[in-house]
Amino acid sequence: MKKMMTAAVYHALDDIRIEQRPIPDIGPDDILLKTLACGLCGGETMAWYKKAEPKVLGHEPVGEVVAVGANVTDFRIGERLFVNHHVGRVQSHLSLRGRFTRDPFYASMKLDPGGVCEYYRVTAQHLRMDVHRIPDSMTNAEAITIEPWSCVVGGLKHCNIQPGDTVAVVGAGFMGQGFVHMAPMFGAGKVVALDFSDWRLEKAREFGATHTINPKTEDAVDAMRALNNDRLADTVIVIAPFASAWAQAEALVEVGGTLHLGAPLAPGEEWTRDGNKAYFDEITITSKYSSDHTDTYSYFRLLEADRIDAARAITNHFDIADSAEAFKMLVEAEKSLKIVVYPHGKPEGL
């Protein structure tokens, strides 16, 4: 096998370079995957979130097994696999309390070196905790939604949705569309999407939103009351990572409802609340960072059962040589949802 591979490397938001990197060596308990496709995540556009630079782009890959370590017996060359980029452990205080993704161990476990490259290594711990064989009925592009939209499933588990509840989603990018699409599976009745983009709102209708609101052209609170029997939403999920969006989301929550924070603000960015309302409105605030193995298992089964319209969410396809163009589209966040990069070339017809 060749020693070097092509990788798309993040140096800055406007500096994505195609570089040659060594193909990772595998140990006796590891496997090596050939990257078939990798999605780009909006989180990669948050410069403050980058822990190290330069860094190989991507953490949403699907791969084909091309090499297995001497001790590996459960996986065979030629199998298509989804392996989560971070995985937890069982025996720790946070894990035993169900907070797998907040255990520091979780963030320390990574794909080597990333997703937008020709090959990547996964460890024995990855294989023990969070791996799924991709069935023939599932395309590579559909399978790359497993990591991001399993985060949606994890978030929805925290949203306290009761059957028939009105659910509002503030921010209708790819992740927001996932919340719109899957909220009815958790009991939502009316599902209201809010965004400044009419294009994204139209997509939200396609994903199952019963109503849409553009806060740029109408008062969101008045519009919510008009469509919801003069009530606000029982659950509001905010995906837009801005304090102004969080304030808008809070204003849309009915007394006794739930506000779910689906994306973080930048470090140091303050979000101020009215203490009197915080007490008397009895609003529950929840959040969920990333996805653990139970979330990916839940989402994988929904996807395999054809309950998820993943193909509709894939809007753009790029060869690895065009990764800078793909990342620019991700940053601009205009008429695109999920962007997929193919390190070994786009399939015919895309």
Residue 350 lies in a domain: no
Structure tokens at 234: 């029982």
Query: Of the candidates 264, 287, 310, which is a domain's last residue?
Result: 287
Q: What is the CATH number of the domain that holds 229?
A: 3.40.50.720
299 and 283 within one domain: no
- How many whole angstroms separate alpha carbon 56 and alpha carbon 123? 18
Look-up of token digits 């996986």: 75
pLDDT bucket at 349, cuts 50 / 70 / 90: confident
174 and 264 within one domain: yes
- How many whole angstroms separate alpha carbon 169 and alpha carbon 177? 8
241 and 301 within one domain: no
pLDDT bucket at 85, cuts 50 / 70 / 90: very high
143 and 16 within one domain: yes
Instruction: Give 101-125 pLDDT, tens digit per residue.
Output: 999 999 999 999 999 999 999 999 9
189 and 123 within one domain: no
* 243-251 helix and 220-227 helix, angle to the nearest 10 degrees: 30
185 and 75 within one domain: no
- Note whether 235 and 168 are within 8 A (CB): yes
198 and 236 within one domain: yes
For 99-106, which contacts have Cβ atoms below 8 Å and span 24 or more sequence positions?
Answer: 100/292, 100/293, 100/294, 101/154, 101/288, 101/289, 101/290, 101/291, 101/292, 102/289, 106/290, 106/292
Q: How do beta strands 15-22 and 80-83 pair?
A: unpaired
- Note whether 34 and 64 are within 8 A (CB): yes
Q: What is the CATH number of the domain that holds 333?
A: 3.90.180.10
Look-up of token digits 């009761």: 162
Residue type, position 23, single letter: I
102 and 89 within one domain: yes
- How many whole angstroms separate alpha carbon 153 and alpha carbon 172? 16
301 and 262 within one domain: no
Query: What is the per-residue pLDDT for 350?
Result: 81
262 and 168 within one domain: yes
Instruction: Say what percent of the chain tops pLDDT 70.
Output: 99
Query: Of the candidates 246, 262, 287, which is a domain's last residue?
Result: 287
- How many whole angstroms separate alpha carbon 224 and alpha carbon 134? 41
The CA-based dihedral angle spanning residues 49, 37, 137, 150, taken in that order and rounded to the nearest 10 degrees:
0
Cβ within 8 Å of residue 47, ≥6 positions away: 12, 13
- How many whole angstroms separate alpha carbon 82 and alpha carbon 307? 18
Q: How do beta strands 60-68 and 253-261 pair?
A: unpaired
177 and 146 within one domain: no
pLDDT (average), residues 229-236 = 98
Number of domains present in the structure of the chain: 2
Q: How do beta strands 253-261 and 314-319 pair?
A: unpaired
- How many whole angstroms separate alpha carbon 290 and alpha carbon 240? 16
Q: For 97, what's the count of Cα atoms within 13 Å in the CB-facing half-sphere?
A: 7
126 and 168 within one domain: no
Strands (E), the chain: 4-12, 15-22, 31-39, 55-56, 60-68, 80-83, 119-122, 131-133, 167-170, 191-194, 211-213, 233-238, 253-261, 284-287, 314-319, 338-342
- Note whether 147 and 291 are within 8 A (CB): yes
For residue 218, pLDDT over 70 is answered with yes
For residue 302, pLDDT over 80 is answered with yes
Residue 347 lies in a domain: no
Alpha-helical runs (H) found in the chain: 93-96, 104-108, 124-129, 140-143, 146-156, 174-182, 198-206, 220-227, 243-251, 275-280, 293-304, 310-313, 323-332
Instruction: Give 172-215 pLDDT, tens digit per residue.
Output: 999 999 999 999 999 999 999 999 999 999 999 999 999 999 99
Range of the domain at 206: 158-287
**CA nearest neighbour of 7 among 348, 326, 344, 325:** 344
Query: Does pTM top 0.85 for this prediction?
Result: yes
Residue type, position 181, single letter: H
- How many whole angstroms separate alpha carbon 212 and alpha carbon 205? 8
